[in-house]
Amino acid sequence: MAAAPPPLHLVIFPYMAQGHTFPLLDISKAFAIRGLKVVIITTPSNAPFIVSETSNHPNISLSIIPFPRVPELPEGCENTADLPSMALLSTFIEAIKKMKQPFEGVLRDMIANGHPPICVISDFFLSWTLDSCRSFGIPRIVSHGMGVLPMAICLSLDLISLKTKPSTYLDPLELPNLKLPFTLHKADIPESLLDFDLNDPFTGIIVEAMEADINSWGVLVNSFEELEGDHVGAFESFYFNNAKAYCLGPLFLYNKLRQEVEAEKVQIQSYSYIKWLDKQTGPNGSVVIYVSFGTQAHMSDDQLNEIAFGLEMAEHPFIWVVRSRTWVVPEGWKERVKEKGLVLRDWVDQRSILSHLAIGGFLSHCGWNSILESISMGVPLLAWPILGISDQGLNAKYIVSGWGAGLMMPHRGDGGEKIMTVGRDVICESVNELMGDGKGRKAREMAQALGKMARRAVEKGGSSDKKLDQLIDQLSNKNGKS
């Protein structure tokens, strides 16, 4: 009897930010369950979290390399969540480039030990890994953490001449090679991509990353064909060397090990906020609105106050994750809402909240992970994009005008400019509209339909499941294995 072939190995290198790391940990587990050996590259401070997420998978191992010491960054700052200010983001990304030599050392050791990786999956911001992969003849697959259409729109912006770029926020954009399911305006575009400053260090980082991106072997996309298949061909047209986009998501829905599922159930049931949600589930169905704006959005104390009073006025039960450590709850407010509201300041398991039967809506900044998690659970969104430097505005437009799975929080003036502080009346009215009948009910029905599609995509024989098998087969054959 012939000996079984040795297992295939691959390397996954996440960018040190939770929103970028989570999807790559999810796909690591999917590869591991299929029998591949996965090596995740990380740094000392990030390692404990990754171990906590992957310890049940013997096919996943970590290779820990040092984070470069940079005078401008605080000691021990190895994740964007630890940055004292987002003004240091460019410094952080530039520092990561100094990890190139130890990264190449990992690849060299794997090859010397007879386990050459069939590919390296690395984050968009780790553009320098392309040169390293090329020097070893290893395919590099880039991971963005964005959807197909938002990525295609960002790539299209390079093709617009400066003369035809819109001057006002409400001017429409016509993008070459893209058929959009909605009218796009300047206000929907990340500010850093449309009105970029060539002297800005972050602009240089983006340009460098995009060049490495379009020259990579392929693109891993946390999405699924039923949601975005119509845009995949246009997106792939921006890439060289016939690179393909692999829609493998929603990555967090892939089957997990049985013991992992059981352990998660026990853990989730112990969370205080899940116990609180259990008490909210009643004959009126999904009545709670979940409020969270991610880990990097900054809101003024005035805006947080308006949210607080707006939620109180709406009179719907709510669970609100507040990231600000300095915000002081308005006097008397907590006492007034104690029967209906739960305010949390620490980390929460967002997926367990969104999957709870009591949740009927999600007031969100519209990061791509949050969007996928919400629609996969059949929960409609109240879209409130906060940051102007990311894809949130595009995602919000996509949800509301493209899919019809959410409503938009009014956050712009008549001229399309951002409103500095959205008032409590607007927040109250928008929450009630999402949680009520009419537009809210239609958005809820659409989100539930998309949720069914999302879950089918990752099941055996689903579009994402088959695409993952196809990717493994192509990489295996490229490396001379059957």
- Whether residue 358 is found in the same domain as residue 415: yes
Q: Residue range 201-209: average pLDDT? A: 87
pLDDT score recorded for residue 281: 73
Q: Does some domain include residue 72?
A: yes
Q: Could you give the CA distance from residue 196 to residue 397 in angstroms, rounded to a whole number?
A: 21
Q: Is residue 4 part of a domain?
A: no
pLDDT above 90 for 239: yes
Query: Minimum mean pLDDT among 126-130, 151-155, 471-475: which range?
Result: 151-155
Give yes or no for residue 255 having a pLDDT over 70: no
Residues 443 and 468 grouped into a single domain: no
Distance of alpha carbon 39 from alpha carbon 324, whole angstroms: 35
- Confirm whether 221 is domain-assigned: yes
Q: How many domains does the chain have?
A: 2
Residue 130: count other Cβ atoms within 10 Å of its Cβ: 20
Using pLDDT thresholds of 50, 70 and 90, give the confidence band for residue 480.
Answer: very low
Cβ atoms of 271 and 46 within 8 Å: the answer is no
Q: Tell me the C-alpha distance between 348 and 464, whole Å.
A: 27
Nearest-CA neighbor of 452 among 255, 253, 251? 253
**Residue partners of 38: CB distance under 8 A and separation at least 6:** 9, 10, 11, 12, 28, 31, 32, 57, 59, 60, 61
Residue 158 falls in the annotated catalytic set: no
CA distance 370 to 350: 8
Round to whole Å and give the CA distance between 117 and 96.
Answer: 22
pLDDT above 90 for 339? no
- CA quadruple 122, 397, 199, 83: dihedral, nearest 10: -60
Q: Which of 152, 212, 221, 238 is nearest to 471 (CA)?
A: 221
pLDDT in tens, 22-40: 999 999 999 999 999 999 9
Q: Which of 407, 408, 427, 429 is nearest to 310 (CA)?
A: 427
Q: Which of the four pLDDT bands, split at 50, 70 and 90, describes residue 160? A: low
* In a shared domain, residues 237 and 341: no
Same domain, yes or no: 444 and 325: yes
H or E element that contains 123 = strand 120-123
Phi (first) and psi of residue 397, to 5 degrees: -60, -40
**Predicted confidence (pLDDT) at residue 163 exceeds the cutoff of 70:** no
Residues 296 and 375 in one domain: yes
Question: Are 301 and 248 found together in one domain?
Answer: no
Instruction: Decide if 2 is inside a domain.
Output: no
Query: pTM of the predicted model, to two decimals?
Result: 0.93
Q: For residue 35, count CB atoms less than 10 angstroms from its CB and return exposed for 0-12, middle for 13-18, buried for 19 or more.
A: exposed
Does 157 lie in the same domain as 59?
Answer: yes
Same-domain check for residues 247 and 264: no
Is pLDDT of 429 > 50?
Answer: yes
232 and 266 belong to one structural domain:
no
Q: Average the pLDDT over 388-415 and give the result.
A: 90
Between 465 and 156, residue with greater pLDDT = 465
| Residue 172 or residue 132, greater confidence | 132
In a domain, 1, yes or no: no
Given the residues 20, 57, 231, 411, the one annotated as active site: 20
Same domain, 372 and 249: no
Choice among 123, 188, 391, 465 that is catalytic: 123
Average pLDDT, the chain: 91
Known catalytic residue at 356: no
- The number of residues making up the chain comes to 482
CATH code for the domain in which residue 424 is found: 3.40.50.2000
- Amino acid 482: pLDDT: 32
Question: Which one-letter DSSP state was computed for residue 118?
Answer: S
- Run of H or E including 289: strand 288-292
In terms of DSSP bridges, do strands 9-13 and 120-123 run parallel, antiparallel, or are they unpaired? parallel
Q: Is the pLDDT of residue 164 over 90?
A: no
CB–CB of 411/422 below 8 Å?
A: yes
Instruction: Determine the structural domain holding residue 235 and report its residue range.
Output: 9-255+460-478
**Nearest partner of 190 among 220, 230, 155, 228, judged by Cα:** 155
pLDDT digits (tens, 9 = 90+) for 62-91: 999 999 999 999 999 999 989 988 889 999
Question: Is the domain of 149 the same as that of 280?
Answer: no
| Within-domain flag for 70 | yes
- Residue 93 shares a structural domain with residue 152: yes
Predicted confidence at residue 442, as pLDDT, reads 97
Classify residue 3: in a domain, yes or no. no
